[in-house]
Structure 1
Amino acid sequence: MVGLTAEQIREARTGRAADTKSDAILRLTTQVVEKRGFVSDADLTAARSAGVTDAEVTEIVANTALNLLTNYFNHVAETEIDFPLAEELQPEAACETGCSV
């Protein structure tokens, strides 16, 4: 509904993108979640070398925190999902870092 192709959606759900900067943003976001915010200087350097600005790093952290808060709140509240669930990804499309889908 936002103009993404099925492939772009699949890439985003697995933490990858064809565009270098978008890929760096997705990888940093994955690292923020997996490392619970304790990203390394090397993680930040890799993102910055792909063109990610400090303002965008701040946005990544803020949006990640907001999504986690929203998810946790909905788990506690047992919110009924009123939109179609995303299709389950095939194992070969799973994240390189072993994240669950």
Structure 2
Amino acid sequence: MAEAPALLKAYVALSEIFDSTSLNATERQVVLLAVSYENNCEYCIAAHSVISGMQRVPDNVVQAIRVGHPIADRKLEALRRFAAAVAKTRGWPSDADAAAFLDAGYTSQQALEVVLGVGMKTLSNYANHLAETPLDQAFAAAAWSKAA
């Protein structure tokens, strides 16, 4: 992103705004990991796996997303599914996905906050794809690739 200062500036600004949403740190990392999984971003999955550990996101939550399994916590699983659906459908999640998200205790405001997270993380995912960003040593222990 350093080669495109406007992109870097946008990503940093969106990250700060996403951090100010009503979603807590664990929920924000679930969104970012779910989007990175859907976008098959090896760099971002590794980075957010490490960041999640620093933010005390339960390891079983991170590992479930990394391997494409449901999260045991029903509410976080609804969030993961909704964020993944928004990313996968380019903003057209099914009525069932939206209903499950709301039924789990999330709000319409939070659905839109998920959209913010999807947009922010998609910027990073796509930039890393185009740049073929090598994995930093700090994230090497959390290296990831999507199972076939």
Q: What is the alpha-carbon distance in structure 1 between the residues aligned to residue 58 and residue 93 of structure 2? A: 30
Please tell me whether the aligned partners of residues 15 and 23 of structure 1 are also in contact (alpha carbons under 8 angstroms).
no
Residue 62 (1) aligns with residue 116 (2)? yes
Contact 1:15-1:26 within 8 A present in 2 as well:
no
Deviation at 1:64, TM superposition (A): 1.1
Give TM-score scaled by structure 2 length.
Answer: 0.52
Q: Give the alignment of 1:16-35 within 5 angstroms.
A: 16-35=70-89
> Using the alignment, how far apart are the partners of 2:105 and 2:95 within structure 1?
15
CA contact (8 A) 1:33 1:64 kept: yes
Q: What TM-score, normalized to structure 1? A: 0.72
Taking every aligned residue pair, what percent have the same amino acid on both sides? 33
Structure with greater proportional helix content: 2
Whole-Å separation in 2 of the counterparts to 1:15 and 1:57: 22
Q: Does 1:84 align with 2:139?
A: yes
Q: Which runs of 5+ in 2 are unaligned?
A: 1-53
Which residue type is aligned with residue 7 of structure 1?
N
Partner-residue secondary structure (3-state), 2:72: coil
Q: CA separation in 1, counterparts of 2:81 and 2:112?
A: 15
Structure 1 residue runs of 5 or longer lacking an equivalent are 90-99
- Which has the higher mean CA deviation after the structures are superposed, 18-27 or 72-81? 72-81
